Every structure is written in structure tokens, then in C-alpha cells.
Amino acid sequence: MGRASASRPLEEMTEPADPLSPRLGAVVLAAGQGTRMRSRLPKVLHPLAGQPMVDHVLAAVMAAGAAEALLVVGREAAEVRAALDGRVRFVEQAKPLGTGDAVRCACAELDASLERVLVVYGDTPLLTGETLRVLATRDPAAAVTMLTMVVADPAGYGRLVRDAAGRVCRLVEDADASGPQREIREVNVGAYVFNAAWLRGALSSLRRSASGEYYLTDLIASAADAGHSVATVQLDDPIEGLGVNDRVQLATAEAVLRERVRERLMRSGVTLIDPASTFVDSTVEVGPDTVLHPHTFLCGHTRVGAGCEIGPSSQVVDTEVGDRCRIWWSVLEEAVLADEVQVGPFSHLRPGARLARGVTLGNYAEVKNSTIGENVQQHHFSYIGDAEVGKDSNIGAGTITCNYDGENKLRTEIGERVFIGSDTMLVAPLKIGSDSATGAGTVVVKDVPEGKLVVGVPGRVVRDRVPPAAAEDNPADASAERPAEPEARSP
């Protein structure tokens, strides 16, 4: 009886399988109703560590070396099909006639050249590719190789019955177990590798149970009674065999998967100040020497570069973060950050925000669907939406792009080296020329030529703007950076 452990390196357990080999096919059973979840969402689509439950199963199946995978769904499985469309082949089980019938439906669609068939349930998200690869390669001569585990309380599980020589005889379901069988602690996980030719013949001879269904587990006794070999692989850690049937088990699986992610990150060179309060989805990638502070949430398809500092209390969703960035007390959604960008505290990047190298964004600053150029500074209760800001510009406190006219979103273009004074209102559509400036409180409603200073309500050009370098060379001209006197602010 072999043993597999997800904690041991794969090379210590088995020779790697060829992931392109046509010898192994996979069937994932996902036609169950999942009534104990008490949810309108199909059970296999409930999220775990940022992915639908069944995605974890499919990933493990493909990591085990399966050349193709079929997902068996029921007739009313539109949501499952929509969620996984284009990523897996579907097989419909028209009537709920049990697991044996579900596998029979799938076998009719599998490539006839396959020599082995891996069968797993779509609600076992903790099974790893390493474990399934061991299962697939344990005994190529066996008619069936099944995954088992030893548990302290076997209630609810099918018991594995062995003869005096230790050979597998049959599986006895919990409801049918009696006497000494109820004390058996080795139980069925629900993952099998079948000889494909034997499986097709055996499925055709399955008989209906008293409930009118065809049970896949009946094949174990069929193989043993016919003198075929039934091999087993036993899990070292029974938690890997957890089947998710309700919200309590869903929470257990969530905790296990997130702990695996945290361990993977730390072993790859990422520092987690407090792992227990750091939440990273399984789809996230983080570079070495990055530090994650408490209450950090990295979600979806987020990518974080090397040498970054994220958190505390930050949420980053479907965002690309370059190297050596700092993000704290902020929310980022579908944004792109180049290297050496600082965001926070209390900033919000909404979808479409793109920040170039060296940008600093902080203190209640918000960016939406805008490109912010290199070395731009934006702080203090400012909003830039549907805009493009040129490099080396400064966005003063309280600046707002008025990008919505009640019907359409309109663009604002700000050139390079522009100084936007505090409380400036930029009424789109608008173009602000490079090297220009606005005075505090200006409402800009017309395009501003390059190199000009605009002040007032509404804003108007009052003089040329002297670039900061020139003002330093000639202090007498430094007043050009300041707004005009009050009379210049008249309407």
C-alpha cells in the first residue's frame, strides 16, 4: 500500500509524468446538486482562494499529466458552462443516474487511444497535482488504483474492505456498513485511475442499485471478484482528501489553500510580517524581497514585482505592480504600476489607471482610466479621471478633472512639466499645454497653450509661465509662478 504526501518533493515520490502524454485522460464529476451548500450558485463555482472550486481540481488534474480533461455536468449547468467556457470540454449527464453513469457518459467522449482514465470529484479542491500524479503512476498493471486515507472518525465515508492478505475486496458505503465494517478507518477519497479498456467494459456491466442509480464504487468489487489488481495510494494528511459539501467545509478548504499560498510565497523569498492576517489568492504572483504587511489582500490576477512593500491595510485586485513599489492603506483595482511607484496612504486606483515610473500618489488621491506620466506628483484629495498627465507634472491639492457632462465621459490631456495649482477644476474636454500652470482655485474651461499661466473663474491666460529652473536663475521673475492679483480673478 503506497503513501503520497503533498509536503514531499515530487521527485522523491515518483518519476515525473510527461504532461503531453496521450496515455492519461481525466474525468471530473461536477453534476451533483450541492444542496447542502444552500446556495443558488453551483457548488463547484463557489470561490476558494480567488478561484472557483473546480478550477483547483482541474489544475491538479492537468498537473498530474492528463492529456485532456472532461467535466461532467447536469442538464441545468448553464452557470458552470458559462464560467468555464473555452477552458474545458463538457459532457452532459442528461439524467442524474449516479456516478457510474456519469463516467460512462464521459468515456464515450474520451480519446479511444487513452490507456488510463483518472476520475475525480469537482468538490475535492485540496488534492494536489503531485498526489494525482503518484496515483496515475503507482501501478500501471492494476485495473483500478484508488486514493484512500485513514481518519479518526469514518462516519459518512465509504470503508475500504481488505482480505486477510491485505488485498482490496470492496468498498462499503457508510449506510451499508455493519458490525466490524463500521470500525474500519481506511476510507475512500473518491479519486481513481482506471485501465481504460477495462473501465469501458466494466461500466457496461454495472447494475442499478436499489435507488435506481449506477455507482462507480461498485467497480472496486467487480475488479476484485474478477481477480484483477486493485492498488491503493494512501494520503499522509487526510485534509487533502476533504470533500466540500457545506459552508463549514468550504471555510476549512479556504484556510488550507491560503496557507499553502503563504508558504509558497515565503519559500520563494517573500516576507510576510504576519502570515495569519495576510490574504493572497492562489492566482497571485509576488517577486522576491517584497514585504507584505498585515491586512494586505492580493486578489485575482495580481502580479507584484521584486523589492516592493505592500500594506498595511491595502487591497490590490487584478493589478500589475512593478519593482520597488510601495503601496499602503490603499485600494487598487485593474491598474498598472511601473517601477518605483508610491501609492498611499488612502489612495484609490480604479480600473484603467496606469502609473509610469516614479509616480507618487497619496493622501486621498484617486485615478480612474488615466495614464500618469513619469515622476508625476499627485496628492491631497485630488481626482484624475479619463485623462493623460505628462511626465514631471504636479497635481495640486483638491484638483478635479470634471470628466462627465451628464451623458458622456470626456478626456483631459495635461502636457509635460505642468503645474496644476490647488483646487483647480479642469472641465473636459480639455488640453493643457506643456510647461503651463494654473493658479489656485482656477476653473479651466478652454484649452491652455504651452508655457502659459492661467488663473481665475473662468480661467484665462494672464502671462507666460516661467519654468521653475528659469525662475531660480532670475528671482525677479519668480512671481510668474504665483497667481495674479485678485483683480485678475474677476469673471
Catalytic positions, written as ranges: 380
Per DSSP, helices labelled H in 286-402 are: none
Measured CA to CA in angstroms, residue 129 lies from 269, 314, 374 at distances of: 23, 32, 43
Q: What is the DSSP string of 428-457?
A: SSEEE-TT-EE-TT-EE-S-B-TTEEEETT
CB within 8 Å of 385: residues ≥ 6 apart? 366, 367, 368, 369, 370, 401, 403, 404, 409
Q: How many CA atoms lie within 13 A of 237 on its CB side?
A: 11
Residue whose C-alpha is closest to residue 30's, from 171, 125, 117: 125
Residue type at 78?
A
Q: Quick one: angle between helices 196-204 and 218-225, nearest 10?
A: 110
Cα distance between residue 15 and residue 19, in whole Å: 12
Determine the number of helices (DSSP H) and then strands (DSSP E) in the chain: 8, 43
**Under DSSP, is residue 300 helix (H, G, I), strand (E, B) or coil?**
coil
Residue whose C-alpha is closest to residue 3's, from 195, 148, 192: 148
